[in-house]
């Protein structure tokens, strides 16, 4: 008959059979508990999260569910070996594996949360319901996530006994050299970040920069692309856009229009008096135009000058041109009917005999 008490008391590599069995039981129990947590608790939490209005809990639970079996096995094994005496190298090896696994999966959770918040924030900023990362948010998301993994690597190296301070000093010197080499690129990069957060303009806005005008098509990391009225694509560096005056017509609810014309000097005074009222009646017939004033303004070199002001109830440039064209044609027809001659540059020479 087997003497179990004596068998349990047998010692191998500094531990009794009983201690090995206890450690094995702890290992199996730990794996079962973690398995229960992953396949039962997490699934119930998922069902609960789907019923809530917010979606951040879904992301957190999804991130926790992404923790793989290597972590659970290493954790259970590390706890189990606490019940036996084991070689220092093996103990430290398991400790480092646990540190690496814990840091890795914690970083994965944070990585997913960074992506979620970037997506959520960018969607809230969007004009429509569809989601699409802007280049700036996409860059910042990747930058923060890359910084996260660099920190993870440094933490792991620090726990492995590597002199992280000296390593960082070397990296810092190299970073300064790279920053000098990429000075112009970094200037445009920070300018693009300024444009994104300050929002002097957005994609779809009609802007004027100096002598150029057009619609914003894309705001990139280094440059902004503008489709001009002539049809070509204008590429402007972001640095230039943050250091020059930009006229943005997006916020303009209505456009103030001033235009002038002249009639000949031989136009009778009775007809000159009628011109402002004629122009007023013409403008009032336009759907988008609101008349302001029309005046006989000046005596020019070869014409009697009139100035007209009206407001266009739209910021669209094409609608402005359509309205102005309609007004001009109506003025020409009215003047032809009233036998009022439009002036053009002329010179009259009087010869005295």
User: Does residue 120 sit in the same domain as residue 90?
Assistant: yes
Tokens 């690597």 locate to 153
pLDDT value, residue 307: 96
Give the domain CATH number at 238.
2.30.30.60
Residue 39: Cβ-neighbour burial (10 angstroms; 0-12, 13-18, 19+) = exposed
User: Does residue 295 sit in the same domain as residue 214?
Assistant: no
297 compared with 157, residue with greater pLDDT:
297
pLDDT value, residue 2: 47
pLDDT value, residue 246: 85
CA distance 338 to 332: 10
Range of the structural domain that residue 304 is part of:
255-338
Which pLDDT band holds residue 143 (cuts at 50, 70, 90)? low
pTM: 0.43
CA distance 129 to 289: 33
pLDDT value, residue 194: 77
- Mean pLDDT for the chain? 75
Q: Are 188 and 199 in contact (CB under 8 A)?
A: no
User: Does residue 243 sit in the same domain as residue 292?
Assistant: no
The pLDDT tens digits for 253-294 are: 788 899 999 999 999 999 999 999 999 999 999 999 999 999
- Percent of the chain past pLDDT 90, that is, above it, reads 21
Of 248, 264, 281, the one marking the end of a domain is 248
Flag whether pLDDT at 173 surpasses 60.
Answer: no
CA distance 297 to 54: 64
pLDDT value, residue 7: 54
CA distance 28 to 249: 69
Flag whether pLDDT at 233 surpasses 80.
Answer: yes
Least confident range of 68-82, 95-109, 176-190 = 176-190
339 phi and psi angles, rounded to 5 deg: 55, 50
Beta bridge partners of 236: 224
User: Does residue 99 sit in the same domain as residue 147?
Assistant: yes
Give the domain CATH number at 297.
3.30.70.100
Number of compact structural domains in the chain: 3
pLDDT value, residue 124: 46
CA distance 335 to 278: 9
Asked if residue 222 belongs to a domain, the reply is yes
Least confident range of 178-192, 226-240, 241-255, 283-297 = 178-192
Flag whether pLDDT at 145 surpasses 70.
Answer: no
- CB-based contacts of 108, cutoff 8 Å, min separation 6: 63, 66, 67
Beta bridge partners of 209: 212
Residue 263 parent element (H or E): strand 255-263
Flag whether pLDDT at 129 surpasses 50.
Answer: no
User: Does residue 289 sit in the same domain as residue 150?
Assistant: no
CA distance 23 to 160: 26
Flag whether pLDDT at 164 surpasses 70.
Answer: no
User: Does residue 213 sit in the same domain as residue 119?
Assistant: no
Tokens 């794996």 locate to 31
Q: In 3D, which of 304, 231, 207 has the Cα closest to residue 261?
A: 304
């Amino acid at each position: 008959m087997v003497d179990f008490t004596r068998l349990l008391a047998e010692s191998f590599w500094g531990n009794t059979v009983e201690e090995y069995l206890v450690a094995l039981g702890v290992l199996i129990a730990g794996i079962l508990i973690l398995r229960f947590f992953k396949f039962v608790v997490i699934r119930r939490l998922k069902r609960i999260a789907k019923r809530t209005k917010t979606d951040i809990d879904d992301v957190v639970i999804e991130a926790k569910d992404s923790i793989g079996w290597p972590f659970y096995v290493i954790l259970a094994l590390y706890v189990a070996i606490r019940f036996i005496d084991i070689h220092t190298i093996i103990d430290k090896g398991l400790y480092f594996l646990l540190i690496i696994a814990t840091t890795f999966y914690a970083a994965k959770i944070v990585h997913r949360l960074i992506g979620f918040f970037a997506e959520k924030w960018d969607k809230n900023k969007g004009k429509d319901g569809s989601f699409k990362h802007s280049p700036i948010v996409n860059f910042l998301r990747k930058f923060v996530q890359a910084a996260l993994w660099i920190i993870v690597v440094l933490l792991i190296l620090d726990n492995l006994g590597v002199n992280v301070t000296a390593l960082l000093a070397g990296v810092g010197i190299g970073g300064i050299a790279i920053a000098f080499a990429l000075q112009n690129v970094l200037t445009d990069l920070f300018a693009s970040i300024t444009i994104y957060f300050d929002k002097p303009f957005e994609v779809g806005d009609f802007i004027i920069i100096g002598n150029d005008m057009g619609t914003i098509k894309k705001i990139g990391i280094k440059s902004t692309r503008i489709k001009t009225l002539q049809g070509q694509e204008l590429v402007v560096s972001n640095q230039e856009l943050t250091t020059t005056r930009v006229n943005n017509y997006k916020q303009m609810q209505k456009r103030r229009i001033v235009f002038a014309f002249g009639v000949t000097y031989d136009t009778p005074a009775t007809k000159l008096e009628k011109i402002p009222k004629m122009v007023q009646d013409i403008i009032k017939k336009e759907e988008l135009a609101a008349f302001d004033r029309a005046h006989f303004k000046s005596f020019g070199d070869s014409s009697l000058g009139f100035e007209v002001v009206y407001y266009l109830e739209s910021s669209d440039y094409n609608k402005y041109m359509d309205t102005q064209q309609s007004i001009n044609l109506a003025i020409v027809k009215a003047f032809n009917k009233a036998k009022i001659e439009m002036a053009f540059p002329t010179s009259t020479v009087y010869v005295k005999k």
